[in-house]
Structure 1
Amino acid sequence: MQFEHIAGVGTRVWRWSRTSGTQPRLLHAAKAAVAAVLAWFIARHMPGVAAEYPYYAPLGAVVAMQTTVFAGIRSGVQTLVGIALGIVIAGFTMWVGDPGFLAIALAVGIGVLVGGFRVLGEGSSWVSTAALFVLLVGGAHAEGYSLGYLVQMAVGVVVGLLVNFLVFPPLRFWDAEHRIDAVNQVLADHLDGLAEVLAGGERDERAWDRQQDRLDRAIADVRSRVSIAHESRRLNPRGALRGSQARLEQDGARFRALERVAWYTTDLTELVARSGPVSEGLGRPDPEFAEPLATALRELACMVRGERPEEAGDDAIAEVERALDASRENPSHVAVTSAALVAMRGIVESERRATNDLDTRTGPSAFRNARG
C-alpha cells in the first residue's frame, strides 16, 4: 500500500513536471551546464594568447544554448558578429586618441548606433559591450585581448551548438499543444460567461474588457509558442522523425482555428456583453431569443472543451434559427440575433475544420475519440 502511494505521488509529480514545462527546462539547464564545463576545459588548452582568456568560452556556450537549434545558431553567429564589430569600433577610438573619456564616449555612442541595425539581432547589445571591454580591460594589450576574447567566445559558441544539436535537440511541440488546450478552456469559459449575461446577468463592461484583454494575451502567447515549435524543427535531426511534420501541421491548423474562434467570440462579446445595441437598454437581445441563444452558447462552450461533438453546436444553433424564423418582433432585435448566429456558426465551422481527425485532448475530435 505504501509503495502504491509513493508510486502515485511520483506519477503526479511526473505529470506536473511535464505540463508545467519543468522537464524541458531541466534538460536545457543540464545541457547548458555540460556545455559550459566542456567549453572551459577546451579553452584552457587553446594555443597562443587565447589561453589567457579561457573564461569567455563558457559565456559563449551559454549564449549558443537556446531553446531551439536554429535559434542557437542564429544567436551565436549574431553575437560573434557583434563582438567583432565592437573590436573594430574600439580600434577606431583608440586610433583617435588614448583611452579616456573621449574614447569611451565614442565607443559607446558608435556601438549603440551600429547595434541599432535589426539584422544584428542578439548581437546588437554586444557591440558596445565588446568595445568597452577592449578599451577598459584590454588596455595596453588590446590586440591580444581582442583576439583571445573573440576566439574563446567562438569556441564556446561551437561547443554549445554541438551539445544542443547532439544531446536531445529540442522539439517544442508539447509546449505549443498544451498552451492551445489551455486557451481552448479560456474560450469556453468566455462563452459560458456570455451565456450567463444572456440568462439575466447585468452587464459589466470593465469586467469584459479585462476578460477580452486576457484572451488577447493568451492568443498572442500561443502564436509565439507555435512559431517556436515550427522553428524547433529547423536544422534539428529529430525533425526528420516520422510524424513530426504531420504533428506540426496539426498544431498550425489548431492555432488558426483558435484565432478564428477568438475572433468570433470577440464579435459575440460586443453584441451581448459590451455594446448592447439591443432592446430596452438591457444589454442583451430580446427575451424571446435570449434563452435559445444562452443554450447555444453553453453548447458551444462544451464543444470547444471537447465535451460535445460539432453536431451539438449545429442543433443548438438550429433552435435559435427556428426562434428567429417564428419571430414577428422589432427588426433591430432580429438583426442582433442574426449577427450572433453568424458568429456562432463561424465558431462551429472553425472547430470542425481544425479538429477533424486530430488526436488531441480538446476540440470535437476528442469527443469522437473518447466515444470510439
Structure 2
Amino acid sequence: MTRLQDIVVPAIKAGVATGLAYFLGSLLPLPLGDYSYYAALGAFTVVGLFVVQSATESLQVLGSVAIGVSVAVAVQAASWSSAWSVGLTVLVCILLSALPLLGRQRTWAPVAALFVLAAGGPQPEPMALAYVVQVPLGAGVGILVNILLLAPLGLHELDRATNHVLTILPEEMRREAGRLVAASEGEALLPSSTGPSPALAESRGRLRLAVEQARRARRGNLRTRLPPHPGARSLARAGAVSRCAAALEAVSVVVAESAAARGQSGARLRRQAAAVLEQAAETFEGALRPGQHHDSMDRSVREIDHLLEQVRSTPGDAGLDHVLFGALAVTIRECLMVLQQSDLLGGERPGG
C-alpha cells in the first residue's frame, strides 16, 4: 500500500461509517433520535481498527459507557452538580473502570459521565439512555464498515519495520567486519563494543510487534480470503528478515568471543570473515533493490566457501578459531538461504 492509500482509505471509511451511524441513530424514536451524534462518535472510535480488534474494543466501549452513565445518573439523583459531585463522579468512574477487561477503552467511563452531568440537566435519564444506545449502535456500524470496506491489514507498518531492519543489517555487518579487521591486526576487542548493537535489538523488537499486529489484523478479515491473499508475502518477508536479524545477533556474539589474532593463520581467518560480512552486507542491500544484485549472492557464497576452507586448514594451536569462524560462516550462509527462500532475492539457492 502506498502512503496516499493509507491516508485516503481510512478517511473514506471514517466518513462513511460516521455518516451512516448518524443517519441510523436519527431514525430511533425520540428522545433517542436527538442524540444521533453519539452514534457517529461510536463509529469513529472503531472504524480504523482491525476487524477482531474493533469488535473487542466496541464491547469495551459499551462496558465503559455503561459504568460512566450509571455513576453520573446515581450522583445526579443524590445531589446537584458541583465541584464535589463532578470530582466524585470522575473518581468513582476511574476506580470502577480499572477492570482489565475494559482495556484501553476504560477512559470512556469518566468521559461519558461528564457528558451526562454537563448536558443531562436535572433529568439526565433520557440522555443517559441515548448514550448507552447510540454509542454501541455506532460502534456496530463501524465494525460493519470495517469488514466491508478494506479492513486494515497493518501492512504499511509491517513493511516499514521490515525495511528499517533491512537497512540496519548491512550497517551491522560492516561494523562487525571492521571489528574483525582490527582483531586481525592484533587489537583486542573492547568489552563495551562487543555483542549486538542496541539499534539492531530495538529495530528487531519493533519488527516483532509489527508482525504480531499484522497477524491479528488477518483474523476475521475477509480480504485474506480473496486472491492474491493480501499481506501473505509481507508477512513471509518480515519473518525472514527477523530470522536474519536474530542470526546477525548470534554473529555478534561469535565476533565478541574471538580474541586478537594468533599468528598469520588467525589474521587470515579474521580478514576472510570480514570479507564474508562485507559481501553479505552488499547482498542484503540488494534485498531493498530487487533485480539489481543477482551476482551478489554468488559472490557471498564464494566468500563463505573460502572461509570454510580456511577453517578446515586452521592449525590446532589457534584456539577456538576453527569453531567460532566455522559457526560464523554457517550462520551467514543460513541467513542468506532464508532470504533466498523467502523470495527476497533472485537467483539460485546458496550452496555449500
TM-score (norm 1): 0.76
Shift of the alpha carbon at 1:194? 1.9
Q: Quick one: distance in 1 between partners of 2:110 and 2:84?
A: 14
The 5 Å alignment of 1:1-372 reads 18-19=1-2, 21-94=3-76, 97-173=79-155, 175-177=157-159, 179-200=161-182, 212-244=197-229, 248=232, 251-272=234-255, 278-279=259-260, 286-304=266-284, 305-306=286-287, 307=293, 312-328=299-315, 331-332=318-319, 334-335=320-321, 338-353=323-338, 355-356=340-341, 358-359=342-343, 362=344, 364=345, 366-368=346-348
Stretches of structure 1 lacking an aligned partner (at least 5 in a row): 1-17
The aligned counterpart of 2:290 is: none
Summarize the Cα distance change of 1:244–1:330 in structure 2 as closer, same or farther, 3 Å threshold. Answer: same
Shift of the alpha carbon at 1:92? 3.8
Shift of the alpha carbon at 1:120? 0.9
How many residue pairs match? The answer is 336
Amino acid at match of 2:170: A
Q: Quick one: distance in 1 between partners of 2:120 and 2:304?
A: 73
Stretches of structure 2 lacking an aligned partner (at least 5 in a row): 288-292
Aligned 8 A contact 1:226 1:251 in 2: no
Q: Quick one: distance in 1 between partners of 2:176 and 2:71?
A: 60
TM-score (norm 2): 0.80
Q: Quick one: distance in 2 between partners of 1:116 and 1:355?
A: 48
Shift of the alpha carbon at 1:355? 4.3
Aligned 8 A contact 2:69 2:116 in 1: yes
Shift of the alpha carbon at 1:62? 0.9
The aligned counterpart of 1:7 is: none
Aligned 8 A contact 2:207 2:242 in 1: no
Q: Quick one: distance in 1 between partners of 2:276 and 2:49?
A: 42
Aligned 8 A contact 2:154 2:217 in 1: yes
Structure 1 runs (4+) greater than 6 angstroms displaced: 201-209
Q: Quick one: distance in 2 between partners of 1:40 and 1:153?
A: 10
Q: Secondary structure at the match of 1:151?
A: helix
Aligned 8 A contact 1:83 1:130 in 2: yes
Shift of the alpha carbon at 1:73? 1.8
Summarize the Cα distance change of 1:147–1:355 in structure 2 as closer, same or farther, 3 Å threshold. Answer: farther
Aligned 8 A contact 1:171 1:229 in 2: yes
Amino acid at match of 1:258: V
Amino acid at match of 1:162: L
Q: Quick one: distance in 1 between partners of 2:337 and 2:95?
A: 51
Shift of the alpha carbon at 1:123? 1.9
Q: Quick one: distance in 2 between partners of 1:253 and 1:31?
A: 28
Summarize the Cα distance change of 1:183–1:124 in structure 2 as closer, same or farther, 3 Å threshold. Answer: same
Aligned 8 A contact 2:276 2:303 in 1: yes
Aligned 8 A contact 2:307 2:329 in 1: no
Shift of the alpha carbon at 1:74? 2.1
User: Cα RMSD between the aligned structures?
Assistant: 3.4
